[in-house]
Chain A
Amino acid sequence: MKNLLILGAGTSGTMMANHLVKELRDDEWKITIVDQYKTHYYQPGFLFIPFGTYKPDDVKRTIDEFIPKKVELVREEIDLINKDSDEVVLKNGQKLKYDILIIATGCKTAPEEVEGMKGDTWYKNIFDFYTFEGSCALAKKLETWKGGKLVVHITEMPIKCPVAPLEFAFLADDYFYKKGMRDKVEITYVTPLSGAFTKAKTTAELNHLLEEKNIKIVPDFAVEHIEGENGKIYDYGGEEVDFDLLVTVPTNMGDDSILRSGFGNDLNYVPTDKHTLQSKIKENIFVIGDATDVPASKAGSVAHFEAEILTENILNYIEGKPLKPNFDGHANCFIETGKGKALLIDFNYEVEPVKGKFPFGGIGPLNLLTESKFNHWGKMAFKWVYWNMLLPARKIPFVTPQMSLDGKYLEGIEINK
C-alpha cells in the first residue's frame, strides 16, 4: 500500500480528499488527512455575523461529516514536515510516512504582528471579523454601539478574500442606515493599496461605490503601530487616523508548521509552481489553497479551481506523466455592496475583472462588475453550494476551472501574457 497524506481538513484539504477517494484505487492507496480541529467553518459567512444576517450556528459544521469513510482522519496538531525522510511529525510524536504529500494548511490571522493591535482593547474597540470569535464579538459590539468613527482597515497584503473588507464597509453603511443612525457614523476605509482594490477596472468601480455611500478612503497606509486607548492608528510615514471602533484585517500568515519545516517564505507560505501546483520543495509535495505562495487570490473559489487541476496532476504524477501547467489563477468572487445587491468578478493571472455576463456569454444570468439583486442572491445561495457541492467535490455546472473569455467586454484591456 502507498500513502497519500493531506495536511489540513479545511476547504482545500476536504475537497482533495473527496476528489482523490474517487480517483485512486483503494487497494493501492491509503489516504490520510490530518487536522487538529473539530469544526469546519463556512468562512465566507463570517462577514455576515457582525450584522446579524447569519447567526453563529449558521456557519458551523463538523469536519468529520465531509471526510469520506475510506479516508482516515487523524485529529492531531502537525509539528513539522521532514521532506528528506518523506514523513510528517505530529505533536504527539507520531510519524506519518507518505509517498505523496498535499499541503493544505491554509492561512490565519496574526494580530500579534502589529504593535498594539492585540493589546488591552482587543475585542473592546479593536476587532477582526476573519475569525469566528472576532465576528461573534463584533456582532455583540455593534448591537449596542452608539456611533462615532468606524475605521475598516487592512494591515498588509496578501489577505484571504481581498474584497471582504470592502464588503464589510458597504454592509456597515447599509446596517447603520437601517438602524436610523447612519448620520452618527463616520466610515473610513484604510488600505495599504493605492485604491480600493488591486486591479484597475474594479478599483474604479469600487471607488465610485465608496463615494456614493459616503465612505472615505485613506490609501497607501502601512500601519506601524496602534494605540487602542487613544483610538489611533499610525502609519510608517507618520500619518495617523482616529477611530472609535477599529475593524481590522490583521496580517495573514501560513501555518506555523511550515515555519518549523524550514521551507516557507517570510509569511510562511510554501513556494509553489503557479501553474502545476507542485511545490518547489520536492517533487512528491504538492500545495493547494491559501497555503501556497502563488500570486492568486486566497479564496475558496480559487481553491475549488485548483482542486480539479491538482487532482489531475496527482494522477499524472502517479503514472509518471508530465504535469499539466493548467492552473491560470482563476478566481470568481461575489462582492456584497449592501442594500440587497452584489457585484460579481471573474479573473485570472492575466485578465483583470471586466464587465460582462456569467457564466453564459451574452446571457448571464449573473452580471460581471455591475451591481444587481440577482448577484446578491447568488452569494446567499453559495452557502448551500459550499456544503453540498464544493466540499464533496461535485461538479458545479457551467463553471470551468480555467477562466473563460466568453461574455467579457475586453475592449481596451491589456492581457499580460
Chain B
Amino acid sequence: MEKTIAGKVINVNEEGYLVNMDEWNEDIAKELAQEENIELSPRHFEVLNYLRDQQRKEVALTIRGVGKSGVVDIKEFYVLFPKGPLKISSKVAGIPKPKSCI
C-alpha cells in the first residue's frame, strides 16, 4: 500500500514498514518517529544509519547483536526507542521488521 510521508508517496506494508529502503530519507525518518512519539536526535540517526548499513550487508538484526555492536548498548537503545526498540527503530530506519523471532 502507498502512504504519503513527509510529502513523498512511499510504499509500505500493512504494518507500516517501508517496502523499499531506498525510498527513505531523514525527513521520512522524522515523521515515522513522530508517529511513535519520538523526537529524533543526532544520536538516533547514528543508530538508524548503523541499522541501515547492517541491512545492506544482509546481517540479521537482533537486540543482542545491536547491543554488542559498539554503536549503542541495550540500555541506551531502550532509552532512544522505548518499548520494543528493534521493531520501532527498524520501522523508523526504513528497513523490514526483523525476523529474529521465530
- Which residues does A use to contact B, with CB under 8 Å? 156-158, 162, 192-194, 198, 220, 222, 224, 236-237, 265-267, 293, 295-298
Is the beta-carbon distance between A156 and B64 smaller than 8 angstroms?
Answer: yes
**Chain A: which residue is nearest B59 at the CB level?**
A265
Q: What are 7 sample pairs from A and B whose C-beta atoms fall under 8 A apart?
A: A158-B102, A192-B101, A198-B101, A222-B78, A224-B75, A266-B62, A295-B102
Complex CA distance for A297 and B102, rounded to whole angstroms: 6
- Other than A158-B101, A236-B78, give 10 A-B pairs with Cβ distance below 8 A: A156-B64, A158-B102, A198-B102, A222-B63, A224-B75, A236-B85, A265-B60, A293-B60, A295-B99, A297-B102
Chain A interface mostly? loop
Taking the closest CB of chain A, its distance from the CB of B78, in whole angstroms, is: 4
Complex CA distance for A337 and B99, rounded to whole angstroms: 26
Is the beta-carbon distance between B74 and A236 smaller than 8 angstroms?
Answer: yes
Is the beta-carbon distance between B100 and A157 smaller than 8 angstroms?
Answer: yes
Is the beta-carbon distance between B83 and A220 smaller than 8 angstroms?
Answer: yes
Complex CA distance for A265 and B62, rounded to whole angstroms: 11
Taking the closest CB of chain B, its distance from the CB of A245, in whole angstroms, is: 26
Interface-central residue, B82, B85, B87, B102, by most chain A CB under 10 Å: B102
Residue-wise, chain B 40-65 has the 8 Å CB interface mask toward A (1 for contact) of 00000000000000000000101111
Q: Does B70 contact A (CB under 8 A)?
A: no
By a CB distance below 8 angstroms, the chain B residues around A222 are 63, 74, 78
- Which residues does B use to contact A, with CB under 8 Å? 60, 62-65, 68, 74-75, 77-78, 82-85, 87, 99-102
By a CB distance below 8 angstroms, the chain A residues around B65 are 265-266
Is the beta-carbon distance between A156 and B63 smaller than 8 angstroms?
Answer: yes
**Chain B: which residue is nearest A198 at the CB level?**
B101
**Chain B: which residue is nearest A299 at the CB level?**
B102
**Chain A: which residue is nearest B64 at the CB level?**
A266
Is the beta-carbon distance between B68 and A266 smaller than 8 angstroms?
Answer: yes
**Chain A: which residue is nearest B78 at the CB level?**
A236
Is the beta-carbon distance between A237 and B101 smaller than 8 angstroms?
Answer: no
By a CB distance below 8 angstroms, the chain A residues around B84 are 194, 220
Taking the closest CB of chain B, its distance from the CB of A104, in whole angstroms, is: 19
Instruction: Name the one of A237, A267, A293 contacting B83, with C-beta atoms under 8 angstroms.
Output: A237
By a CB distance below 8 angstroms, the chain A residues around B99 are 295
**Chain A: which residue is nearest B99 at the CB level?**
A295
By a CB distance below 8 angstroms, the chain A residues around B63 are 156, 222
Instruction: Name the one of A162, A224, A236, A266 contacting B102, with C-beta atoms under 8 angstroms.
Output: A162
Is the beta-carbon distance between A236 and B75 smaller than 8 angstroms?
Answer: yes
By a CB distance below 8 angstroms, the chain B residues around A298 are 102
Complex CA distance for A192 and B74, rounded to whole angstroms: 14
Complex CA distance for A157 and B102, rounded to whole angstroms: 7
**Chain B: which residue is nearest A266 at the CB level?**
B65
Complex CA distance for A194 and B77, rounded to whole angstroms: 18
By a CB distance below 8 angstroms, the chain A residues around B82 are 237
